[in-house]
């Protein structure tokens, strides 16, 4: 996975400031929050970007943990209702910031939202779209934050009906993958510029393809096929609702193109989000199992973006780029100024993935950690709902954590994960240790 992000909307959430000084301060604080690559604007498109690896899951059969509370079952849809699968993959490190935006702009209010006219008590002749969410994430100290997704599958409101269901949740214990078996892995991929090397690429690929496994399992059990699949990341921050071209929305299975974000190509295609019909989605999400086929076709030493483009190519699937209003949040720091050829430029607060003025883009210095006080600046920029969600996670106690995770589990049709108590125990143990370490550091600094 990559630390960059895509922000391709001209409507930013950050309100305009009246004074130049406050604008500069906001830029300095929010720059690390709203990371994305402006490389296509100021640097050659062949830049290489390091992949952020995610822990690799084994793929055991889906199982249901014993003594689960009654859970929601998949809604039976009419013949006029199309079904779309949404894959959410990755770690939840900053999910208290990104989660509410995903729930609001991708699931509940995105391209597949049901208008108020189709809500219960209203009549509408238009076809509806049922959205099934598939979550694939590693078990780590941040997994307890995933309960924030429950807000996207709550009963209908006055503005939209509830067409979102949690089809499957898999939170797995990480396992390493063999780097050299099969040999195609070592031939096709390169670890150049990957901060965690070859293992990082393989972990990311297996994470993405694991969500495809969940979708296939649901289709097999339900004896149906999804009309389309959307795949996005848990560390994506959305500033506006996901919108797709009308021609993209419900792609027939025979459609031979796949929708990707503009920019961040790095010698291939942007692989941070994708949308397509079932055939093109199979080609796009088979990141790991496709490697032997790429080796047979003669591909070698590819980064993630180049491998992504290659697997679409060998599958006969064309890519179509779209502007999409999201970026990727990262705790990583980057050298400043960025080095031409492989550096990572970070844009200033008035960001947009492809729009710039007078042929230039203003860059920020992201070489250090997030600044003290970034929370207040984020709350002001992201809005009241996002601020409340962030603060709720910060203030959450262990008992509340278990309660929220149990509610999330009850929403899932299929739960392949540790118990809510175990997920919370891991998270709060890490929080306690981090707080103690910070206190010791502060104490040591005061004594010096």
Predicted confidence (pLDDT) per residue in 358-403, tens digit: 556 667 777 888 888 999 999 998 999 999 999 999 999 999 999 9
Q: Which long-range contacts (CB under 8 A, 24 or more apart) does 17-21 make?
A: none
414 bridge partner residues: 168
Higher pLDDT, 407 or 63: 407
Among 55, 30, 1, CA closest to 362: 30
**How many other CB atoms sit within 10 Å of the CB of residue 379?**
15
Note the residue count of the chain: 448
User: Is it the case that residue 149 has pLDDT exceeding 50?
Assistant: yes
d(CA 390, CA 79): 40
- Whole-number pLDDT of residue 358: 56
What is the DSSP secondary-structure string of 373-423?
THHHHHHHHH-HHHHHHHHHHHH--HHHHHHHHHHHHHHEEEEES--HHHH
**Mean pLDDT of all residues in 409-417:** 96
Predicted confidence (pLDDT) per residue in 194-220, tens digit: 777 899 899 999 999 999 999 999 999
d(CA 2, CA 408): 28
| Helix, coil or strand: residue 45 | coil
In this structure, are strands 228-233 and 82-89 parallel, antiparallel, or unpaired? parallel
| Residue 5 to residues 25, 38, 45, 155, 384, Cα–Cα distance (Å) | 22, 9, 15, 32, 23
**Mean pLDDT of all residues in 107-117:** 71
**How many other CB atoms sit within 10 Å of the CB of residue 224?**
12
What is the DSSP secondary-structure string of 120-155?
TT----SPPEEEEEEEEEE-STTGGGGGGGGGGGSP
Instruction: Give strand ranges (E) for 52-146.
Output: 82-89, 129-138
Helices then strands, counting H and E runs in the chain, come out as: 12, 10
Predicted confidence (pLDDT) per residue in 233-283, tens digit: 999 999 999 988 777 776 555 567 899 999 888 899 999 999 999 999 999
| Helix, coil or strand: residue 49 | coil
* pTM beyond 0.75: yes
- Whole-number pLDDT of residue 193: 75
**Mean pLDDT of all residues in 152-169:** 69
| Residue listed under structure tokens 């203003």 | 362
What values do phi and psi take at 229, rounded to 5? -135, 130
Higher pLDDT, 209 or 192: 209
Average pLDDT over the chain reads 77
Q: Pull the structure tokens for residue 144.
A: 């307890």
End-to-end CA distance of the chain: 40
d(CA 171, CA 418): 7
- Whole-number pLDDT of residue 222: 95
| Residue 25 to residues 30, 237, 371, Cα–Cα distance (Å) | 9, 21, 10
Among 302, 265, 277, 266, CA closest to 287: 302
| Contact residues for 55 (Cβ-Cβ < 8 A; gap 6+) | 91, 138, 140, 172, 174, 175, 203
d(CA 72, CA 164): 11
d(CA 130, CA 132): 7
Predicted confidence (pLDDT) per residue in 45-86, tens digit: 332 223 323 333 333 333 333 334 445 554 444 445 789 999
18 confidence band (pLDDT: 50, 70, 90): very low
- Whole-number pLDDT of residue 140: 95
d(CA 195, CA 381): 31
Is residue 213 within a helix (H) or strand (E), and if so which, with residue range?
A: helix 197-222
User: Is it the case that residue 108 has pLDDT exceeding 80?
Assistant: yes
- Whole-number pLDDT of residue 420: 97
Predicted confidence (pLDDT) per residue in 25-41, tens digit: 444 444 444 443 333 33
Per-residue DSSP letter, 353: S
- Whole-number pLDDT of residue 270: 93
**pLDDT over 90, % of the chain:** 50
| Helix, coil or strand: residue 296 | helix
Q: Is the Cβ–Cβ distance between 447 and 186 less than 8 Å?
A: no
- Whole-number pLDDT of residue 283: 96
112 confidence band (pLDDT: 50, 70, 90): confident
User: Is it the case that residue 320 has pLDDT exceeding 70?
Assistant: yes
User: Is it the case that residue 118 has pLDDT exceeding 50?
Assistant: no
Q: Lowest-confidence range among 134-148, 190-204, 345-359, 397-411?
A: 345-359
Higher pLDDT, 441 or 388: 388
d(CA 194, CA 305): 12
- Whole-number pLDDT of residue 172: 95
């Amino acid at each position: 996975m990559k630390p960059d992000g895509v922000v391709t909307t001209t409507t930013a959430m950050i309100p305009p400031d009246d004074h130049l000084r406050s604008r500069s301060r906001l830029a300095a604080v929010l720059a690390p929050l709203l990371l994305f690559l402006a490389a296509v604007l100021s640097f050659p498109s062949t830049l290489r970007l390091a992949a952020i690896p995610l822990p690799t899951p084994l793929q055991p059969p889906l199982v249901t943990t014993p003594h689960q509370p009654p859970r929601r079952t998949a809604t039976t849809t009419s013949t006029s209702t199309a079904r779309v699968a949404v894959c959410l993959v990755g770690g939840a490190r900053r999910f208290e910031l990104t989660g509410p935006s995903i729930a609001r702009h991708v699931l509940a209010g995105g391209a597949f939202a049901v208008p108020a006219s189709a809500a219960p008590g209203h009549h509408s002749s238009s076809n509806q779209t049922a959205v099934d969410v598939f979550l694939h994430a590693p078990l780590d100290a941040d997994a307890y934050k995933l309960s924030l997704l429950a807000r996207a599958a709550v009963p209908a409101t006055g503005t939209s009906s509830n067409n979102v269901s949690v089809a499957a949740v898999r939170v797995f214990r990480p396992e390493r993958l063999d780097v050299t078996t099969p040999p195609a892995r070592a031939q096709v991929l390169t670890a150049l510029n990957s901060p965690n090397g070859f293992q990082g690429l393989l972990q990311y690929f297996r994470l993405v393809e694991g969500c495809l496994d969940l979708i296939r399992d649901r289709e097999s059990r339900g004896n149906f096929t999804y009309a389309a699949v959307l795949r996005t990341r848990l560390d994506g921050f959305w500033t506006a609702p996901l919108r797709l071209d009308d021609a993209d929305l419900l792609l027939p299975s025979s459609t031979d193109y796949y929708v990707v974000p503009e920019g961040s190509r790095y010698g291939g295609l942007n692989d941070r989000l994708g949308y397509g019909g079932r055939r093109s989605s199979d080609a796009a999400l088979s990141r790991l199992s496709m490697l032997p086929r790429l080796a047979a076709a003669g591909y070698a030493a590819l980064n993630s973006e180049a491998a992504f483009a290659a697997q679409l190519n060998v599958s006969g699937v064309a890519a179509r780029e779209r502007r999409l209003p999201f970026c990727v949040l990262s705790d990583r720091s980057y050298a400043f100024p960025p080095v031409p050829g492989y550096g990572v430029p970070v844009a200033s607060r008035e960001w947009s993935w492809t729009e710039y003025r007078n042929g230039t883009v203003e860059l920020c210095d992201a070489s250090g950690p997030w600044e003290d006080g970034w929370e207040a600046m984020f709350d002001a920029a992201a809005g009241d709902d996002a601020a409340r969600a962030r603060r709720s996670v910060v203030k959450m106690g262990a008992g509340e954590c278990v309660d929220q995770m149990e509610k999330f589990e009850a929403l899932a049709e299929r739960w392949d994960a540790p118990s809510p108590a175990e997920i919370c125990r891991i998270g709060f143990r890490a929080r306690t240790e981090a707080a103690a370490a910070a206190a010791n550091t502060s104490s040591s600094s005061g004594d010096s």
